[in-house]
Amino acid sequence: MPHRLIILIYLLLTYSGGLLAPLGSVLIVLVAWLAWRQQWAEHLGLRASTAQWLLALLVLCLAAVAAWVLIPAACQAQGIYLTPIWRRDDWIILALHTLGQTLNEEIVLGWILLTSLHRRLPRVCLPALALIVALIFAGLLFFFITAPPTENLNYGILSAATLLSLFAVGALRNNLILGMGSIALAWGMHLGWNLIFIDSAYTWGETGTKLAEPAIFNAVFGYTPIMVFLTALMLASLLIFRITGKKSVIA
């Protein structure tokens, strides 16, 4: 029952804009605390050592730097004008929304989904489990982000390259969660990237037309260097699992 309530809060508040996403985070933590008391953090994937949280902060910074290098390059190559978050008047609200949005996604689409499948499919090896959930993640994004075309270039179908990138980053996120036993590193990576990716504004350089969400995803995740970069990170994480023979550290 608590998990169902947490998922309901996630669905109702995470994508509603403004400060509703961080409000959802507070409510999710409250529900977990009321249901499990001392074990609430374990049930949300938030129980991590101080070293893990410090490493997550480093990963957040690295992800933000990588995003700021790669995303403007993708935009410049495609004639897209990028206005970063710090140049927007509502940057504080945007940042707080993204903090809550990424946390809620990591809790529900990361920790709860992974641990639930791991308990039901204990014989499935961790890399395979990470790939299965990554496939679900990419499929959900395809159905939720895909929209009817609105402009000649502002189309709404996610490209194959975009879906490959989303699959790769989903698998990388899952490997971080399964390997570390918490969402700390995955959340750091997600938040660092999204502060640049989601919270920036995108317009077509010649017309000034604002890009629709599907066009933004295709422009960024469909950009070949970004696709190659994310795929390489995914393969590296899978290789580390294979070399180390990593066992599950989740309950």
Q: Which of 218, 97, 221, 197 is nearest to 146 (CA)?
A: 218
Which pLDDT band, with edges at 50, 70 and 90, does 51 fall under? very high
pLDDT tens by residue, 81-95: 999 999 999 999 999
pLDDT for 246 equals 56
The whole-number average pLDDT for the span 192-198 is 96
**Would you call 92 exposed, middle or buried from its count of C-beta atoms within 10 A (0-12, 13-18, 19+)?**
exposed
pLDDT top residue among 122 and 24: 24
pLDDT for 152 equals 47
pLDDT for 148 equals 56
pLDDT top residue among 183 and 17: 183
pLDDT for 140 equals 84
Average pLDDT of the residues of the chain:
89
Tell me: pLDDT of 241 over 90: no
pLDDT tens by residue, 135-145: 998 988 888 77
Which range among 13-17, 195-199, 218-222 shows the weakest confidence by mean pLDDT?
13-17
Contact present, 231 and 168 (Cβ < 8 Å): yes
Residue 205, phi then psi, degrees to nearest 5: -55, -40
Give the span between the Cα atoms of 112 and 108, in whole angstroms: 5
103: left (phi over 0), alpha (psi -120 to 50) or beta: alpha
Contact present, 167 and 230 (Cβ < 8 Å): no
pLDDT for 124 equals 79
pLDDT tens by residue, 93-130: 999 999 999 999 999 999 999 989 888 888 878 888 88
Q: Which of 230, 235, 162, 240 is nearest to 193 (CA)?
A: 230
Tell me: pLDDT of 8 over 90: yes
